[in-house]
Amino acid sequence: MPLYRAHVLVCGGTGCTSGGSDKIYDAFLKEIEAQNLKDEIQVIRTGCFGLCAEGPIVIVYPEGAFYSKVADSDVKEIVEEHLLKGRIVKRLLYKESIEEGQIKSLNEVKFYKKQMRIALRNCGVINPENIEEYIAYDGYKALAKVLTEMTPEQVIDWVKRSGLRGRGGGGFPTGLKWEFAAKAPGDVKYVVCNADEGDPGAYMDRSILEGDPHSVIEAMAIAGYAIGSKQGYVYVRAEYPLAVKRLEIAIEQARQYGLLGKNILGTGFEFDIEIRLGAGAFVCGEETALMTSIEGHRGEPRPRPPFPAVKGLWGKPTLLNNVETYANIPVIILKGPEWFASIGTEKSKGTKVFALVGKVNNTGLIEVPMGTTVREIVEDIGGGIPGGKKFKAVQTGGPSGGCIPASLMDTPIDFDSLTALGTMMGSGGMIVMDEDTCMVDIAKFFLEFTVDESCGKCPPCRIGTRRMLEILQKITSGNGTEEDLEKLEELAYSIKDSALCGLGQTAPNPVLSTLRYFRDEYEAHVKEKRCPAGACKALLRIVIDKDLCKGCGICAKNCPANAITGQIKKPFEIDQSKCIKCGVCIEKCPFKAISKKA
Amino acid sequence: MIKSIQELEEIRKKALEELEFRKQHGEGIRVVVGMATCGIAAGARPVMLKFVEEIQKRNLRNVTVVQTGCIGLCKYEPIVEVYEPNKEKVTYVKMTPEKVLKVVAEHLVNGKPVYEYTIGYEENKEANN
């Protein structure tokens, strides 16, 4: 293997790719070729670095220069200045990574300081399309260890002792699940990876598959050994083309290297993995629906029990875990269950990956020890709320979850504390909201999502959620009554009790949780016909400030509804019954005399 | 096709060598080559390439070669500075690919700086002339 004097790592995560990192990668290859540096410098596409808000990101080693918001037009300068002459291009450096002109180590940047990367350990570090880089960082060593030094029972015992709980959302103890699958009678068993990530705003599973696909493959092979299975399936949605491509490459390479297939590492153990593409239906993330879909049927859930560990794919015992859960396994095997159990809180061990999105400065992918508080995540890692606005709440768990209000910001995040707050971990989406977010509107957004995604098999979910949505639409349009609030709650509880699967049972959660912490907002909508956050369009009033208005008439000329009238040089007025709240007058007024009022 | 754990370990070791310097710098020896316009004009590029080649040939895993801008003494270019942890830096001047061979062998491998190539030696020489 040739030695290079510098490595250029270009982020190949979906965020940076949509920001043009493909072009940046090509530009580097071209420019390096043009400058005749091909033998000295290696350009590598990695997985997600995490700091998506600053993408596209390029890191140049050995200096560790962290370039953010790079454009393909910047590449020439980086090559000519940095790679050719060794002068770091300061204007492109991520501002937090420089101190007194010196580049700080990435771990010292605020965004990374409070993080602990276990599941994301290789994301942004290795080239996901090169199995040797994964092997270099102890890849497949855990598989080798279990195959040669451990019995299946010991592997299960280690996973149990580590305290790892399912990262897909429910938080079921992983080791216990493995034990059930191992003990279930039957010669044919399956190992399935759930990569059907559907929560709005969540993308951790995708990033792991894109940045470190081998960690999932290795873990599935370990699971296969532990429960006695020869065949694995990764169920991934077709909307994740990059993840699918990297996974395909990784599986192929693992086969070539003899790490999948027959007689793995000469031990006689046999295991292989196939990919199954999902059409991107939210319900297919539910385990029974997922398996039905793999079997080739329409992805609809069925009642449990029997649980998949007993009766899963094609009626055979099946072990089903999500991507992030698997990504933790090789590290647990290498570092031991006690090491893993020493991280996190009493009942939630290890770390959790979150997709930090919404009204926060550093949006991106983060991994923190369980027990980190909302405040640490939003303020320290997230860098606070943009535009000096006030923090209002954070939504976790997607459509199955709920909100944590500002007053509970110091809650340490783990499975149980979130459940106690009426929300949940979910797959790890974390949507930060500021004072301009209307909580009724948010509840409506998530309900629209579930109504769209309901498979329709059971009436509580198919009809019930639609009725709830109608009530929320009524409230946000200013026609809600106090009775509606009662009806909404009643409906929510009965859907929770009667829906067939997890999707329906949790669909009312966003409503219940916002009612719990932000009931006053609902009441303002219903009683005063007012939206305190100023987000619900129908409840806004657009008004002209008489003192600021110079009577120029520009607003009246631009109003598409002819709602503004007045005499030149005298204050104009808006007829609220005609106003369609489009806001054109606000934009056009040269004196900033027109504004929205809640 | 990996047939045994030993083979896996061999691949790991080899692959790791290539990735070693992606870790944050701080440990190990750093060879810093001045690569501003003056340095390049004076021939810094072949010097740097020679360093890379020699380091690879000798499999020196604790050494990284990096570039820097103008060190400020253009008349002594190409300039190469060697930083070792807990030691004073050594500045080599008027470097050539031939001199690199000796620096790598004596300084990087055996820990003995080659004084006749250093700036102190050159300055004395000029002062005596």
Digit-coded pLDDT (tens) for A285-341: 999 999 999 999 999 999 989 999 999 999 999 999 999 999 999 999 999 999 999
Nearest Cα residue in chain B from A105: B24
pLDDT at B80: 93
A84 band by pLDDT with thresholds 50, 70 and 90? confident
Q: How far is CA A56 from the centre of its chain?
A: 18
- Please list every residue in chain B whose beta carbon sits closer than 8 Å to the beta carbon of residue A333: none
pLDDT at A167: 93
Task: Give the one of B1, B18, B56 whose C-beta lies nearest to A257's C-beta.
Answer: B1
Overall residue count recorded for chain B in this entry: 129
**Lowest mean pLDDT segment, chosen from A35-44, A452-461, A485-494:** A35-44
pTM over 0.90: no
How wide is the angle at C-alpha A395 spanned by C-alphas A394 and A398, nearest 5°?
Answer: 160
Mean pLDDT along residues A68-92: 89
Contacts A–B by Cβ distance under 8 A: 103
**Distance in angstroms (rounded) separating the CA atoms of residues B49 and B58:** 14
Q: How far is CA A343 from the centre of its chain?
A: 22
Whether B40 sits inside 8 A of A40 (CB atoms) is no
For the cut 90, the answer to whether the pLDDT of residue A252 exceeds it is: yes
For the cut 80, the answer to whether the pLDDT of residue A51 exceeds it is: yes
> Sign of torsion, CA B40 B42 B48 B53?
positive
Task: Give the one of B14, B65, B69 whose C-beta lies nearest to A87's C-beta.
Answer: B69
Q: Is ipTM beyond 0.85?
A: no
| Angstrom distances, CA of residue A479 to CA of A132, A483, A490, A534, B9 | 62, 11, 19, 16, 69
pLDDT at A6: 86
**Lowest mean pLDDT segment, chosen from A150-159, B58-67, B79-88, B119-128:** B119-128
DSSP bridge pairs for B63: B29
Residue-wise pLDDT tens digits, A177-231:
999 999 999 999 999 999 999 888 889 999 999 999 999 999 999 999 999 999 9
Whether A266 sits inside 8 A of B3 (CB atoms) is yes
- Please list every residue in chain B whose beta carbon sits closer than 8 Å to the beta carbon of residue A83: 67
Could you tell me if A17 and A54 are in contact, meaning their C-beta atoms sit under 8 angstroms apart?
no
Q: How many C-beta atoms lie closer than 10 Å to residue A305's C-beta? A: 8
For the cut 60, the answer to whether the pLDDT of residue B24 exceeds it is: no
Q: How many C-beta atoms lie closer than 10 Å to residue A595's C-beta? A: 17
For the cut 70, the answer to whether the pLDDT of residue B26 exceeds it is: no
Hunting for tokens 């709005």 — which residue is that?
A200
B69 band by pLDDT with thresholds 50, 70 and 90? confident
- Please list every residue in chain B whose beta carbon sits closer than 8 Å to the beta carbon of residue A64: 24-25
Mean pLDDT of chain A: 92
The identity of residue A95, as a single letter, is K
